[in-house]
């Protein structure tokens, strides 16, 4: 079965620090997709990135960067020069096509607190 593990449950940093959120996944599928979502206190899950299993290139978007390594089944997320507005719960997710259509399997989430 598909599984996503976010070993860190909570991290607290001071503004401008870099922080890396770890994500390890398990799947038997050869084609799959990985996602990161952000959940601010308002509750809505905000989409950050989607990566397919054939694309191992790292990606950078502003202060955000993602490191996908199939060899270690990891899809880590780094925030550079963190800001207070980055405070949220971050979820890593894996696509699961069992049952005929896509559903997402989420990790337990990691709460990031950025202090001024």
Partner 1 sequence: KAGVTQTPRYLIKTRGQQVTLSCSPISGHRSVSWYQQTPGQGLQFLFEYFSETQRNKGNFPGRFSGRQFSNSRSEMNVSTLELGDSALYLCASSSASRSTDTQYFGPGTRLTVL
| Residues binding partner 1 (CB under 8 A) | 33, 35, 37, 42-47, 50, 91, 95, 97, 99-109
Count Cβ atoms within 10 A of the Cβ of residue 102 and give its class: 0-12 exposed, 13-18 middle, 19 or more buried. exposed
Nearer to partner 1, 23 or 82 (CB): 23
Nearer to partner 1, 53 or 87 (CB): 53
In angstroms, give the least distance from the CB of 37 to partner 1.
7
- What would you report as the CA-atom Rg of the chain, rounded to the nearest whole angstrom? 14
In angstroms, give the least distance from the CB of 116 to partner 1.
26
Nearer to partner 1, 80 or 113 (CB): 113
Closest CA to 78 of 105, 55, 52, 48: 48
Quote the tokens at residue 50: 């989607």
Q: How many CB atoms lie within 10 A of CB 104?
A: 15
60-68 own/partner pairs: CB under 8 Å, 24+ apart: 66/36, 68/34
Nearer to partner 1, 35 or 66 (CB): 35
In angstroms, give the least distance from the CB of 46 to partner 1.
8
In angstroms, give the least distance from the CB of 34 to partner 1.
11
């Amino acid at each position: 079965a598909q599984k996503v593990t976010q070993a860190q449950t909570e991290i607290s940093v001071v503004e401008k620090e870099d922080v890396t959120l770890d994500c390890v996944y398990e799947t038997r599928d050869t084609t799959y997709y990985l996602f990161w979502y952000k959940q601010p206190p308002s509750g809505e899950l905000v989409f950050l990135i989607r990566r397919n299993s054939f694309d191992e290139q790292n990606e950078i978007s502003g202060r955000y960067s993602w490191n996908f390594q199939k060899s270690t089944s990891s899809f880590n997320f780094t925030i550079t020069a963190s800001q207070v507005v980055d405070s949220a719960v971050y979820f890593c997710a894996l696509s699961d096509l069992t049952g005929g259509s896509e559903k997402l399997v989420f990790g337990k989430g990691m709460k990031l607190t950025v202090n001024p």
